[in-house]
Amino acid sequence: MKSRLTKHLLTLARTGSFLTAVGVFAFDANNSLAESARNTPIVLAIQKAEPAVVNIQGNKTIKNSTASGQSIRQEVNGMGTGVIIDRRGFIVTNYHVVDEVARIEVTLADGTSSIAKLINYDPETDLALIKIPTDHDLQVIHIGNSESLLRGETVIAIGNPFGYQNSVTVGIISALHRDIPVNGSQQYNDLIQTNADINPGNSGGPLLNIEGEVIGINVAVRVGAQGIGFAIPIDTAVEVMADLVANHRETAHGISFSKCGDVILNEKLGSHLVVREYLGSESNSSRDIRTGDRIATVDGHPISNRLELELAMLDVRSGQSIELGLDRNGVKLAHSITLNASTNKPEADIAKIAWEQLGIRLTAVPASSVAGVGDEYTGGLRINDVRPGSPADRARLLPGDIIVGMMDWKTPKMESLTWILSNSSFRTAGSSNYYLVRKRARMTVAMIPEISSPSSSAQSSSARNASRDIR
């Protein structure tokens, strides 16, 4: 029966090109059509992403307590995974993978190894930025988005579980927006849950969609369970990594951004970067950068998120200019901005500056504290104390007042205040307007700061985890 069926199909195959394809496809396993059937979307996604995935090895010493209460030091081997985010060798991974590791050994997909340097990290989100030396451009991961994820859609994890390098597992998105406690003092928020197998060694590696784009950074598993793993949404990771890159830079661009959204560009759905506020000096030719402008390019290179923008500006020195390509309601514009020395400072220094120059002690408060007063406010700075005889005292500012703006700029966080107090426009303006919320009502006062003799601490170097909204 089998031989007659085979003969019949091959006879039919001679009668037309379509049937020829059918016949060869069915019986010639080495044919290109048979090969293409094996190249499933999952296979293609892995091939697309894998060159940008690295394995991480390292040793660190930990302290353990014996039954008698004595403390002993023990060296442990650690492993994890990372994702290349920039051609120059910048890699994102989990902070717990590289925390206190003296020698971070990174192995690329092609088998070459090098020693990485820890550049910056954020313990709250458990993300870290490391860098390896390279003499050529490295392949970078393709970044997707996590805002439009669907429960049940296919996802792929690539990592280094238990030291088995470049292992691939496949599953689905089981749930979204999971909050997972780690211990009594730490919690992961808004995670992606997946049943793709994630094990020790997968930490810091990519969770991919079917297009081969990273939509999450694998971070944790449920101890004692199977098929319950978690990943940090890539939208969150991109914002945190953008902060880490910006705080590593020695320059600041003075632009804050609205939340990235989706837009149709060249008939494809993609993200875009929209200006919320520009804090550039008046000497810049781009003073007319406006709220709502979309930044499309940096020095001619297309960008779609904050991380790409911060990376594009990484090698620009203070005083140098960079050209931004803008889209304003469909009109293409080009503006040049000059980057200035970074003014990021530790929060203790920010507080000291505010006390010395303005005479106030401040605490950042969320948007809910000024809700209903102005929809444009995303937070403010509450006055906790006023120094007698200070500029704030003379302007009759009171404890409980919330500063929501100064001059033309909003003050949602302490870092915003740092930028403003260091800005030449503010320092030479003399009297400036301060916008306050007092007992749910808006008011404006004028004040002259004491800026003639700033403290030496005010000139300290940039903080590791300074401003996340204002540059």
**96 catalytic, yes or no?**
yes
Q: What is the 3-state secondary structure (H, E, C) of 148-199?
A: CCCCCCEEEEEECHHHCCCEEEEEEEEEEEEEEECCCCCEEEEEEEECCCCC
Q: Which of 96, 253, 272, 335 does the annotation list as catalytic?
A: 96
**272 catalytic, yes or no?**
no
Q: Which of 146, 174, 203, 462 does the annotation list as catalytic?
A: 203
CA of residue 293 relative to chain centroid, distance: 21
Q: Which of 86, 122, 126, 349 does the annotation list as catalytic?
A: 126
Answer left, alpha or beta for residue 306, where phi above 0 means left and psi between -120 and 50 means alpha.
Answer: alpha
**203 catalytic, yes or no?**
yes
Q: What is the 3-state secondary structure (H, E, C) of 390-406?
A: CHHHHCCCCCCCEEEEE
Residues whose CB falls within 8 Å of the CB of residue 194, separated by 6 or more in sequence, listed in order: 155, 157, 171, 172, 173, 174, 207, 216, 229, 230, 231
Q: Find the length of the chain.
A: 471
**What six digits make up the tokens of 401?**
């007042």
Rounded to an integer, what distance in angstroms lies between the CA atom of residue 2 and that of residue 407?
A: 86
Rounded to an integer, what distance in angstroms lies between the CA atom of residue 84 and that of residue 393?
A: 52
- Strand positions, DSSP E, 397-468: 402-406, 409-410, 432-438, 441-447
Q: Could you list the active site residues?
A: 96, 126, 203
